[in-house]
Amino acid sequence: MRPPILLVHGAFGQAANFEPWRGYFRAAGYPTTAISLPGHAPVDEAVLRRLTLADCLAAVGEAAAKLDRAPVVIGHSMGGLLAMMLAAEAECAALVAVAAPAPGRLPAQFGGFRYAIPHVGRILAGWPVKPSPLAIRSLVTHDLSPAESDEVIAQTGMESGLVLRKLAFCDTEVALSTIRCPVLCLSGGGDRVVPHSAGYRIAAETVAEHVVFPGHGHWLIAGSLVGTVAAPVREWLDRHV
């Protein structure tokens, strides 16, 4: 019997981001669950005002504990970081980090910081923020079709300033060497948010496989890329889990 898969979205996201992958892996015989982090779907500013990265990790841990056995944890972007944090302290069947930042390093490329400038005050104060459609198109979905980009923008919500502040100050150390399950890192060669060098660092410290998809950006979980990105993940899981 194949292990369950737990899908964890990134900052500003929700479980619906992973709907293409959820359907794909279910069809391949993997019981698959996608979760929304607290305050994300629907957006609840009151929850986001007090939400910390530790709270997010606790939510992922609770979702994993409800499954009938140790899951394969697949996380995108910040969700990949949360997946690493979970695998460092709990039993996981496998870990797949998709366009994930390396712990203890700047989570984003410098080119994206100009879009963050209008939100600096709110982030420092710990208040929730939301990126503009222009920022999403320029940084996240630049390699996707306009229709798919619109879909991502429609699913984009707010994020906790407390979480973003912790990421911005690189206060996210994870004992990667303690991860014992098989690890796969995926990076976009054209990612304008997280440099693909982050994947090399994660892979080096976890003895993981690292696959770079040339020309593709940060949103490797797009429905149009299921055959390009999710299919190799399924093949890797079939071999290692």
Say which CATH class 5-240 falls into.
alpha beta
- Domain ranges for the chain, please list them: 5-240
Contact 10, 41 (CB under 8 A): no
Which strands make up the sheet holding 94-98, listed edge to edge? 32-35, 5-8, 72-76, 94-98, 183-188, 209-213
pLDDT exceeds 80 at position 112: no
Confidence band, pLDDT 50/70/90 cuts, at residue 108: low
- State residue 12's pLDDT score: 98
Question: Range with the lowest mean pLDDT among 31-45, 99-113, 170-184, 203-217?
Answer: 99-113
pTM: 0.96
Cα separation, 40 vs 91, whole angstroms: 26
